[in-house]
């Protein structure tokens, strides 16, 4: 099966699945009033679940693990050097989802690694729209060429990367 037919089958299989979100109320914080018990519960939850890695530390750890120079990464996918410098020097900088995807392509990340990198910046690749499914498919199939990915995105009327 050629790659474009494989992509179409992948999109069809995920876009037909309906997903329902289930929201549960916490017993301790069921009311709109913030009381001591609720605040304590929130603080405990945060302390127990906060990630040690940040987007910035994880990104630079991936770059180091691959023995790449910074310029190798940002030049490969045409990310501005000043933007890269801002990410390196400001631990609180929050890049766009597209920028993170481009970093993932430059580093040739696996599907799990791109998910982790996106998650650390509070993004994800949901399974309910063409753009995110195409990006996920490309990481799954190890397609890292921006032009090829943009071709897929264009054929499915999606916003292109690095537009």
64 part of a folded domain: yes
pLDDT tens profile 97-123:
999 999 999 999 999 999 999 999 999
Give the structural domain span for 64: 53-163
Q: Quick check: 147 and 131 in contact, CB under 8 A?
A: no
16 part of a folded domain: no
pLDDT tens profile 57-101:
999 999 999 999 999 999 999 999 999 999 999 988 899 999 999
Buried residues in 64-74 as b, exposed as e (16+ CB within 10 A): eeeeeeeeebb
Residue 134 has pLDDT above 80, yes or no: yes
pLDDT tens profile 58-69:
999 999 999 999
6 part of a folded domain: no
Counting the structural domains of the chain, the total is 1
Question: Is-above-0.85 flag for pTM?
Answer: no
34 part of a folded domain: no
């Amino acid at each position: 099966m050629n790659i474009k037919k494989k992509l179409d089958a992948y999109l069809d299989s995920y876009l037909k699945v309906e997903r329902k979100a289930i929201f549960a109320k916490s017993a301790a914080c069921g009311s709109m009033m913030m009381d001591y018990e609720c605040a304590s519960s929130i603080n405990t939850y945060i302390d127990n679940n906060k990630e040690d890695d940040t987007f910035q530390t994880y990104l630079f750890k991936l770059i180091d693990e691959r023995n790449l120079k910074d310029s190798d990464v940002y030049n490969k996918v045409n990310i501005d050097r000043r933007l890269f410098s801002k990410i390196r020097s400001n631990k609180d900088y929050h890049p766009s989802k597209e920028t993170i995807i481009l970093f993932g392509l430059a580093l040739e990340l696996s599907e799990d690694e791109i998910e982790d990198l996106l998650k650390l910046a509070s993004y994800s690749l949901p399974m309910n729209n063409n753009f995110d499914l195409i990006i996920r498919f490309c990481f799954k199939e190890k397609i890292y060429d921006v032009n090829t990915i943009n071709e897929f995105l264009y054929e499915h009327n999606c916003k292109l990367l690095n537009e």
